[in-house]
Structure formats: structure tokens, C-alpha cells
Amino acid sequence: MGRKIVIALGMLVVLAALGFLATRIYASMQTGDDVPAPAVGSSAPAATAAVADLDGDWTVADGSEAGYRVDEVLSGQDVTVVGRTEHVTGSGTVADGELTAATVEVDLASITTDESARDGQFQGILDTRTFPTATFELTAPVDVAAVADGETVTVDAPGSMTIKGTTRDVTAGLEIRLADDGGDVVAELAATVPVTFADYGVQAPDLGFVTVEDTGFVEAELTLSR
């Protein structure tokens, strides 16, 4: 084997190794594994109240956030991507210890990840110029009376989710508790909603070097006040 061929083969091996290493480094930089799933109890101590004091209208307050979590395969490397926005609005109504109505609206165009190119693709796929928001609406009452005792209530909440102009029935996994926010009692709510993108007319991207899974999660951490 000639010296030039040996050198060429050596260069190919080095380039392949560098490409593999670069992919691993890029994947590690893009991971959302360090972004915890939604949960309550991190911002304020638990609070208690009479069940009757839960009744009334609650509104999503500043500091709330929502977004998505989805897995990708990037050049053979598993990557978890998490997008978030604080542009969240909504409200809920409690009567006799039951959450009887709730609506949450998220500004999709403001959701960001750690990569602006991905964010632009996300907005294009969801056509956020035409459909700028996603909405969840509760469709059946949920018993939340136990939060009055300072407990964290974990429930499945039936609802409807609207994304890209399409509405589907979903089930949101909720954690709810009361918290003491500087003397004011607020409600903390963490929500996780599994979604299949095709249900909303969304085709998960497959660009060859990166493949996005066709299922993911809509997530939210909300603070509600009165």
C-alpha cells in the first residue's frame, strides 16, 4: 500500500472520529435532560385553608411557564429537547372543593429552546403566524379538596387540547397544592399532557441527521392567585 493511500486512510479515520466527537459534544449541549419535569413545591412552603376558602376564581400569575418536551435522535445520539415560555394566561374556578372549569392558553411563537434554528423550524411547522396559541380546557370536574389540608393532590384531568386549529381530547396529569407566597395563599399547579403530533396535523421532522419522535409532552408549571 502506497504512502499516499496510508495517509489518506489515516485522514479519513481522523475526520470520522472528529465528526463522531463533534456530534456527541453538540448533542450534549442540546440536551434538555437537565430541565426537570413540572412539579410543585419548589417555590414556597405549603399552606392550608378551609375547603370553602378554595371556592372562587383563580388566575394564572406572573412567573408561570409552559412548553414542550420531545426526544430526538441526532446522528445516532439520543437528545431530549425542552422549550419554554412565560407567556401563559388562564384561569380556573373551584366550587365545593372541585375544580369545575379551567382554561390555559400558551403563546407558541414565544417558546424558545437552546437553539434558535430549531425554534424557527418549530414555529414554521406549527404555523404560529396563523395559529399563534395552544389551548387546554378542562372538560369534567376534578376533586381538589385535599389541597386545603396542605396536601399535594395528584389527579388526571380530562380536557381538550387545541393546537394548530385542531382540537383533541386529552388527559392532563396534574399536581396541585396550596403555597404561602409572602403571606398570600396561592395555588401551584404542574401539568403534563402526552401528545401525538399527527393528531394535530403536525409531521415530526426527519432531516436525515436528526429525527424527532412522533410523540412528546406539553408541560406547564403555573402559579394561580385570586
Give the DSSP letter of residue 206: B
Q: Which residues of 156-186 are buried (b: 16+ CB within 10 A; e: fewer)?
A: ebebebbbbeeeeebebbbbbbbbebeeebb
Report the C-alpha gap between 117 and 153 in whole angstroms: 39
The residue-averaged pLDDT of 70-80 equals: 81
Reported confidence tier of residue 78, pLDDT bands at 50, 70, 90:
confident
Pick from 27, 13, 15: nearest CA to 209: 27
Report the C-alpha gap between 31 and 81 in whole angstroms: 6
- Residue pair 97/51 in contact by the 8 Å Cβ criterion: yes
What cell does 51 get? 375547603
Element (H, E) at 126: none
The residue extents of the domains of the chain are 1-30, 32-225
Element (H, E) at 205: none
Reported confidence tier of residue 19, pLDDT bands at 50, 70, 90:
very low
Pick from 90, 94, 92, 97: nearest CA to 51: 97
The residue-averaged pLDDT of 177-191 equals: 93
What pLDDT, in 10s, does the model give residues 190-200? 999 999 999 99
pLDDT at 207: 63
pLDDT at 6: 40
Q: What's the length of the chain?
A: 226
In sequence order, the 6+-apart residues with CB closer than 8 A to the CB of 215 are 70, 194, 195, 196, 197
The residue-averaged pLDDT of 43-68 equals: 93
CATH top-level class of 32-225 = mainly beta
Q: Which residue has the cell 422549550?
A: 83
pLDDT at 2: 56
